[in-house]
Amino acid sequence: MSTVAYVPNPAPLGRLVVIGLGLIGGSFAKGIRAQGLFREVVGVDLDPASRQLAVEQGVADRCEEDLATACVGADVIQLAVPILAMERVLSVLATLDLGNAVITDVGSAKGAIVAAAVRVFGAVPARFVPGHPIAGSEKSGVEAARIELFRRHKVILTPLATTDVAALALVDRLWRALGADVEHMDVEHHDQVLAATSHLPHLLAFNIVDSLAKRDENLDIFRYAAGGFRDFTRIAGSDPTMWHDIFLANREAVLRVLDTYRYDLDALRAAVDAGDGRELLGVFTRARVAREHFDKILARRAYVDTMHSENDMIFNAQPGGTLSGRVRVPGDKSISHRSIMLGSLAEGTTEVSGFLEGEDALATLQAFRDMGVVIEGPLHGRVTIHGVGMNGLKAPPGPLYLGNSGTSMRLLSGLLAAQAFDTELTGDASLSKRPMNRVAVPLREMGAVIETGADGRPPLKIKGAQRLKGMHYDMPVASAQVKSSLLLAGLYADGQTSVTEPAPTRDHTERMLRGFGYPVTTEGNTARLTGGHHLKGGAIEVPADISSAAFFLVAASIAEGSELVLEHVGINPTRTGVIDILQLMGADLTLQNQREVGGEPVADIRVRSAPLKGIDIPEALVPLAIDEFPVLFVAAACAQGRTVLTGAEELRVKESDRIQSMADGLKVLGVHAEATPDGIVIEGGKMGGGEVDSHGDHRIAMAFSVASLRASAPIRIHDCANVATSFPNFLELAKRVGLRVSHEAVS
């Protein structure tokens, strides 16, 4: 157990001197002074008006013109002068006896300042701590100084190996006292990052405005310049002298990013010249996604603010309600993943409709974009994939981040084991705990080279350029992900790959491969294919996901007086365990309008409420309802009598340990629920309300939302953000049909 030591408020330090009373120096002085961290804050500036204003506005206790008068006897000296003036100030400081004073600065290019310090002092003094606050405003001067300027902004300190640890800790503490989020980086890395994220965009903005302004027709150009021009060039209004200093000071790093940028710009020019629409689409779709991603990061303020990722999203489910109406839940997650994978490897274009725009399927989509596939959309469930052929994927620029999605990681590991390049697959905290040896071990038998993290968990490092050989595999667990992973590897393997499953699991991979013209046979529980064929792109219509529909099948069954129709639901026989189990419990479900769409059977399902009874769930149905158990446990809690589930230990290694998460939550609601190693025993009865934890598992969160229909008091469900992985509009649809669940303000 860790204990928190009591740290008394340290006594104030003696004197802080801030040299350069502009926006940054002024705000630093004012903020520190307001905190009372020093007995005295002294400002230095060449401009008498700034010195006078600084005192009048409470930025400093007093101001001096002369450096020696201000600095001798100081504890901390902050240099906030323009970068190119730093060396001059440092050379004056070098002539003074500064005792143990800590010197720090705010310059935006660190290499140049460190070099100046070396020239002046012979070596960087141990008590000099280079720093850079990433904050500013279009306003300048001491009159714009604000105590809050650095709050929730990053401050990067770039200590050297020789920097005094106590001096570094002191500067770190001062910035934190101003509410800044302090990070440490080495000098070169800082300069390279800033060259790319700040200096290059400023250079381009200045450049484009100047380039257009000096043309003869400039008047017209500016007269018709619309929002795009204005947005892109806003930063060309920045302080020219300051930026002139920055480019001279960070010359080398800027040149490096500028050269890379010129290379990419030339490639884009060549694409325009050659009329290469696919190349243009590739750049634009990738950029758009990256920009949206960046916006999301910004919305959570991650760039300027640490912490908030652990925000708890709470669902508040009020008791009672009756369901009615017709709804179509989002597209099938399993089929959406596979449409991207096979569409990418196909020849020609694949048009997908009904695609699930949830985070899991989007993680797969992004992974293929990262491997060079041009993918348009998704827009209203439509995705256009410009297939690259079986051997057309390219090495991604970095690890493929798959978020919460086990399906992405397991299926991709098979597919990537056969590519010419190396890959690394990573995921979020939940995915990082899930077992991957179930795919890594048999794939290695086929000749794949895969390294896992500890205990066979992610990340997975997959070595490319391996020759795979087909094999037969008897799967120890019934898992469609394992089967699919091996079949995808088998597409590239020499000879035949066959997989026998202990019980039937979802067969979307086999069906879709056939739909793309790839021969796959199924005999009993064995699926078989031979490597070396091709895939032909086409149209895929993704049915509504029965796993998402399941929440409403149970909801309408348990809420008295309900009648609901779920439209266009996929009823592939390897997925309909939930219907069978509910019918065994006495549910009133009718399949209407049965049809086949793109190789998958589909129906509208009508549900009317009915009294349910507890049952012993047949083990043969477990793999066919594997994702639906959380909500089936809610049905069991509302049924009369006892429901017993066995043979379902797989539930313990899903997005959470679903047996434990559900047993714990049901107990909170007053239900008798006993977890067993491979299942659960639930006694139906009355349900109260309370606080339950979804453990970040989307299906647990939605299951307890459904439970509220029969609860006698509100249920608050914690950690619900991951509902977006499979059912992004759950709350909206749930509300529309009569559930009383909403998202509570974030804590």
Q: What residues are designated binding site for phosphoenolpyruvate?
A: 333, 406, 434, 481, 658, 699
The β-bridge relationship of strands 76-79 and 13-19 is parallel
Taking the complex as a whole, how short is the minimal distance between the CB of residue 80 and ligand S3P, in angstroms? Answer: 55
Please, where are the H alpha helices in 346-418?
359-370, 406-416
Q: Angle CA(348)–CA(415)–CA(264) in degrees, nearest 5?
A: 60
Among the listed residues 540, 546, 512, the one whose alpha carbon sits nearest the alpha carbon of residue 699: 546
- Residue 199 or 410: the one with the smaller Cβ distance to ligand S3P is 410
Taking the complex as a whole, how short is the minimal distance between the CB of residue 620 and ligand S3P, in angstroms? Answer: 15
- Residue 419 or 481: the one with the smaller Cβ distance to ligand S3P is 481
- Tell me the two tokens of residue 228: 């795009």
Taking the complex as a whole, how short is the minimal distance between the CB of residue 481 and ligand S3P, in angstroms? Answer: 3
Among the listed residues 524, 470, 468, the one whose alpha carbon sits nearest the alpha carbon of residue 500: 524
Annotated binding site for 3-phosphoshikimate: 333-334, 338, 479, 481, 627, 654
Provide the binding-site residues for ligand S3P, judged by CB under 6 A. 334, 407, 479-481, 484, 506, 626-627, 650
- Contact present, 364 and 341 (Cβ < 8 Å): yes
Among the listed residues 714, 651, 644, 629, the one whose alpha carbon sits nearest the alpha carbon of residue 684: 644
Taking the complex as a whole, how short is the minimal distance between the CB of residue 650 and ligand S3P, in angstroms? Answer: 6
Annotated binding site: 333-334, 338, 406, 434, 479, 481, 627, 654, 658, 699
Residue type, 245: D
Taking the complex as a whole, how short is the minimal distance between the CB of residue 506 and ligand S3P, in angstroms? Answer: 6
- Contact present, 113 and 121 (Cβ < 8 Å): no
Q: What is the DSSP string of 250-306?
A: THHHHHHHHHHHHHHHHHHHHHHHHT-HHHHHHHHHHHHHHHHHHHHHHHTTTTT--
- Residue 506 or 710: the one with the smaller Cβ distance to ligand S3P is 506
**CA-to-CA distance for 39 and 32, rounded, in angstroms?**
11
- Residue 105 or 510: the one with the smaller Cβ distance to ligand S3P is 510
Question: Collapsing DSSP states into helix, strand and coil, what is residue 350?
Answer: strand
Long-range pairs for 646-652: beta carbons < 8 A, 24 or more residues apart: 646/616, 646/617, 646/619, 646/676, 646/678, 646/679, 647/619, 647/622, 647/678, 647/679, 648/622, 648/678, 648/679, 649/677, 649/678, 649/679, 650/477, 650/478, 650/479, 650/622, 650/626, 651/626, 651/679
Distances (CA, A) of 161 to 87, 115, 117, 118: 21, 15, 15, 14
- Contact present, 351 and 562 (Cβ < 8 Å): no
| Cβ partners under 8 Å of residue 744, min gap 6 | 314, 315, 316, 716
Among the listed residues 701, 569, 698, 588, the one whose alpha carbon sits nearest the alpha carbon of residue 634: 701
- Residue 630 or 738: the one with the smaller Cβ distance to ligand S3P is 630
Taking the complex as a whole, how short is the minimal distance between the CB of residue 646 and ligand S3P, in angstroms? Answer: 17
- Contact present, 433 and 472 (Cβ < 8 Å): no
Buried b (16+ CB within 10 A) or exposed e, 699-737: bbbbbbbbbbbbbeebbbbbbbbbbbbbbeebbebbeeb
- Residue 78 or 479: the one with the smaller Cβ distance to ligand S3P is 479
The sheet that has 382-386: what strands, in order across it?
374-379, 382-386, 349-353, 539-541
Taking the complex as a whole, how short is the minimal distance between the CB of residue 486 and ligand S3P, in angstroms? Answer: 12
- Residue 604 or 627: the one with the smaller Cβ distance to ligand S3P is 627
Residue pointed to by tokens 């892109």? 232
627 is catalytic: yes
Among the listed residues 19, 124, 158, 139, the one whose alpha carbon sits nearest the alpha carbon of residue 81: 19
Other Cβ atoms less than 10 A from the Cβ of 186: the count is 13
- Residue 253 or 626: the one with the smaller Cβ distance to ligand S3P is 626
- Residue 650 or 744: the one with the smaller Cβ distance to ligand S3P is 650
DSSP secondary structure code for residue 236 in this structure: G
Catalytic residue among 627, 657, 693, 697: 627
Taking the complex as a whole, how short is the minimal distance between the CB of residue 624 and ligand S3P, in angstroms? Answer: 11
- Residue 435 or 670: the one with the smaller Cβ distance to ligand S3P is 435
Taking the complex as a whole, how short is the minimal distance between the CB of residue 484 and ligand S3P, in angstroms? Answer: 6
| Cβ partners under 8 Å of residue 311, min gap 6 | 721, 746, 747
Taking the complex as a whole, how short is the minimal distance between the CB of residue 130 and ligand S3P, in angstroms? Answer: 50
**Catalytic annotation, residues:** 627
